[in-house]
A and B are shown apart, each in its own frame.
Chain A
Amino acid sequence: MSQPQPTSQAQPTSRALHAPLDIAFDYTRSLGPTLSAFASALAERRILGARSADGQVHAPPFEYDPVTAAPPAELVEVGPGGTVVSWSWMQRPLEGQPLDRPFGWALIRLDGADTAMLHAVDAGSAEQMRTGMRVHPRWSDSRGRGITDIACFVPEEQEPAAEPDQQPDGEQAEITMITTPIKLGYDHTVSPGEDTFLRGLAAGKLVAQRCPACAKVYLPPRGACPTCGVPTATEIELPDTGIVTTFCVVNVPFVGQQVPVPYVAASVLIDGADIAIQHLILGCEPDQVRMGMRVRAVWKPPEQWDTSVRNIDHFEPTGEPDAPYDFYAHHL
């Protein structure tokens, strides 16, 4: 395969660069009066439902009546036993689900309720599941975590019901908040333009793309010209010099910061490009950085290069005369 020429058409080669992207966040959720009462009861090994205006008992409880939109007038204890009204079988449980071995998902109508609760049933095999089967909760070792205080349900014939909870001395703290960790994993794929850009960086080059309609040069390439809406397929290699259009001096430490404060984060307009990139300006005191200042890339040693913008450690002043304001005014 030949090296890309400065103005060659991008050719689809192998699959674009991709990498795992894991995102996680622990949501803390305030419960409000109804769900707070529900969660507090679960912590005492009791299950509450809500009676609606038409006399139906919803378990788990509604926060607002589905007909009248009023908060529940009355919370009533239901279960803890119940009857399966529909089920499916989870042969290979997914991360976060109640059990990590094959289990049944079930809609369970708790005794005294008119609606059903979704939960897992630890039945061992699909053959043990049937509509109409009697189940009761197996409680989690932890308390105060809302619906997951119920670890799962179990078939009555397989496991005896839990002993009623010992009434603890004193008043139990009301559960008003729960934390729900959310973690999702993706295979993040870069665009063909980004792929070209990142592979160029691995070879120590800055590869941009030019819009065939308006001739604007995008670094990094965007895939489509945001002005014209057409693919920007023409590749063009740019030098690693440019000017600071605007910048800020970072004085605030934050988690994950990799450069000691104070330092300068700047928009750098690479020579020949029509959009600026963000990077660090080091190699001079922060108060020496100016709008229009000429800078050049300081690359890490080639043996550390990867398909990453981190191959450029930072930009530093070249000492050349500043660009006049009019040259970069329309990039601000």
Chain B
Amino acid sequence: MWKEPLIVTDVAVIGFAQAPNERHSPATTNGVEMLVPIFSEVFRATGLTKGDIGFWCSGSSDYLAGRAFSFVSAVDAIGAFPPVMESHVEMDGAWALYEAWLKILTGEAEIALAYGFGKSSAGNLRRVLALQFDPYLLAPLWPDSVSVAALQARAGLEAGLWTQEQMAGIAARSLADGQRNPRAVPAGPGASGSVADLLAEPYVADPLRAHDCAPVTDGAAVVILAAGDRARALAERPAWITGFEHRIDSAELGARDLTRSPSAASAGRAAGASRAQVAELHAPFTHQEIILRDALELGDEVRINPSGGALCGNPMFAAGLARIGCAARAIMSGHASSALGHATSGPALQQNLVCVMEAR
């Protein structure tokens, strides 16, 4: 088959850092204070400097920050003078990484850096996220993110697709894993609770309990990609990207079967998700992990969220990118030979992205 000779096809994750996941960061909403330390960290680890980066791409949201063009202030963290090639998506940094990956594939850059940041605690996150709905039929009702996830959870519970015990089990496993992750949100009371203890807690949005919902989290993440020989020179064990896909389901909430995720299934099949030994799933609610495992056809042998996942830190616009970074780190550290990172966006898993990586 004919192939365009100039296209670079080998791209790998060679660096990752994330800010501490915090419930209330003292930082501003423009991200600079969270980003400067993790840029330093990832440059130190890779031996790169800002001048080596051929393309920068960020993910963040003005609605979250409560100010216009908040991502422009964040560029201060880069040191973007003289000017750099830079772009932004009003989405999780995982989609910024996708743009960075394309930039390398098209030969416009050899090394690219994607970052995402969000200070979710600045406003009322449940209300802010109501504005991601269709502005005619849904947003005027201010449906909040937790309530909509609760509608999804009940649909699956009543269809017999999962149980509240399974949901609590996911929370217990995630919180236990999170205690070994120094960047996870500091565990609150109940972190060591058994499933029975968790199920004794009251509902926050029937049928969801506090442990079913990711904490409102401030944070940031950065991932560096490099092409072919540059990646081999810069990292001992690069995490080579073998599939990178994203898909979206209907914006018509009431027309979706909320117990399934066709977009995750489609992205997962296209990206080769079933090859992964480790999966970092961006599931801000416990039942969504069950939907995603099913959609991505991940068997019982696949290790899910060794980082603790989004239940141990869900900084808006950075958590998906951090999932990819954590999955890549599993490969770079030698703990896995294949891994996937997943990111979600929109209400009730509306949009899904899958990045599959392997060691070579």
A contact set with B: CB distance below 8 Å: 15-16, 21, 23, 27, 29, 31, 35, 58, 60, 62, 66, 85-91, 94-98, 105-107, 109, 115-120, 126, 131, 145-148, 178, 180, 182, 184-192, 194, 222-231
A147 touches B135 (CB 8 A): no
For the complex of A and B, list the 10 residue pairs with the smallest distance between their C-beta atoms, beginning with the closest.
A229-B79, A88-B150, A116-B254, A186-B66, A96-B142, A89-B206, A115-B255, A227-B81, A86-B155, A186-B123
Which B residue's beta carbon lies closest to that of A145? B140
Contact of A66 among B66, B67, B130, B252 (CB under 8 A): B252
B205 touches A225 (CB 8 A): no
Contact of A225 among B79, B152, B155 (CB under 8 A): B79
Tally of A-B Cβ pairs under 8 angstroms: 177
B28 touches A190 (CB 8 A): yes
B252 touches A224 (CB 8 A): no
* Interfacial residues of chain B within 197-234, with CB under 8 A of chain A in the complex: 203-208
Q: In the complex, A94→B76 CA distance in Å?
A: 35
- Fill in one digit per residue for B78-120: 1 if any A CB lies within 8 Å of its CB, else 0: 1111000000000000000000000000000000000000000
B207 touches A88 (CB 8 A): yes
- Fill in one digit per residue for B123-146: 1 if any A CB lies within 8 Å of its CB, else 0: 110111011000111111111100
A119 touches B77 (CB 8 A): no
Q: In the complex, A97→B140 CA distance in Å?
A: 8
Given contacts A88-B205, A131-B158, A189-B26, contact A180 B148 (CB under 8 A): no
B310 contacts partner chain A, Cβ-Cβ < 8 Å:
no
Interface centre among B33, B138, B141 (most CB of A within 10 A): B141
Given contacts A29-B136, A223-B32, contact A187 B122 (CB under 8 A): yes
Contact of B29 among A106, A116, A145, A188 (CB under 8 A): A188
> Nearest chain B CB to A295's CB is how many angstroms away?
28
> Nearest chain A CB to B79's CB is how many angstroms away?
2
Interface residues on B, range: 35 or more
A89 touches B203 (CB 8 A): yes
A146 touches B77 (CB 8 A): no
A94 touches B127 (CB 8 A): yes
Contact of A88 among B67, B81, B206 (CB under 8 A): B206
Q: In the complex, A15→B81 CA distance in Å?
A: 31
A88 touches B208 (CB 8 A): yes
Residues from chain A with Cβ under 8 Å of B138 in the complex: 118, 147
Contact of A224 among B76, B141, B152 (CB under 8 A): B76
Contact of B39 among A88, A117, A223, A229 (CB under 8 A): A229
Given contacts A29-B135, A191-B28, A226-B81, contact A184 B128 (CB under 8 A): yes
B205 touches A119 (CB 8 A): no
* Interfacial residues of chain B within 137-186, with CB under 8 A of chain A in the complex: 137-144, 147-148, 150-155, 158
Residues from chain A with Cβ under 8 Å of B147 in the complex: 88, 90, 105
B contact set with A: CB distance below 8 Å: 26-30, 32-33, 36, 39, 50, 63, 66-67, 75-81, 121-124, 126-128, 130-131, 135-144, 147-148, 150-155, 158, 203-208, 250, 252-255, 258
Which B residue's beta carbon lies closest to that of A27? B135
> Nearest chain B CB to A7's CB is how many angstroms away?
21
A21 touches B255 (CB 8 A): no
Residues from chain A with Cβ under 8 Å of B77 in the complex: 224, 229
> Nearest chain A CB to B20's CB is how many angstroms away?
15
Interface centre among A66, A116, A189, A225 (most CB of B within 10 A): A189
Q: In the complex, A223→B27 CA distance in Å?
A: 11
Residues from chain B with Cβ under 8 Å of A194 in the complex: 28
> Nearest chain A CB to B176's CB is how many angstroms away?
27
Given contacts A23-B66, A184-B123, A227-B79, contact A90 B250 (CB under 8 A): no
B50 touches A148 (CB 8 A): no
Residues from chain B with Cβ under 8 Å of A191 in the complex: 27-28, 30, 32-33
Given contacts A227-B79, A229-B79, contact A178 B208 (CB under 8 A): no
Given contacts A89-B203, A229-B79, contact A95 B141 (CB under 8 A): no
Residues from chain B with Cβ under 8 Å of A115 in the complex: 252, 254-255
Residues from chain B with Cβ under 8 Å of A231 in the complex: 36
Q: In the complex, A316→B77 CA distance in Å?
A: 35
Q: In the complex, A222→B31 CA distance in Å?
A: 12
Q: In the complex, A107→B81 CA distance in Å?
A: 51
Q: In the complex, A224→B35 CA distance in Å?
A: 10
A185 touches B154 (CB 8 A): no
Given contacts A66-B252, A88-B150, A188-B66, contact A95 B139 (CB under 8 A): no
Residues from chain A with Cβ under 8 Å of B148 in the complex: 88, 105, 118
Which A residue's beta carbon lies closest to that of B63? A184
Which A residue's beta carbon lies closest to that of B208? A88
Which A residue's beta carbon lies closest to that of B143? A118
B258 touches A185 (CB 8 A): no
Residues from chain A with Cβ under 8 Å of B67 in the complex: 21, 188
Given contacts A66-B252, A97-B142, contact A229 B122 (CB under 8 A): no
A189 touches B255 (CB 8 A): no
> Nearest chain A CB to B197's CB is how many angstroms away?
22
Q: In the complex, A41→B30 CA distance in Å?
A: 44
A224 touches B122 (CB 8 A): no
Which A residue's beta carbon lies closest to that of B39? A229
Q: In the complex, A188→B204 CA distance in Å?
A: 27
A89 touches B140 (CB 8 A): no
Contact of A120 among B121, B123, B141 (CB under 8 A): B141
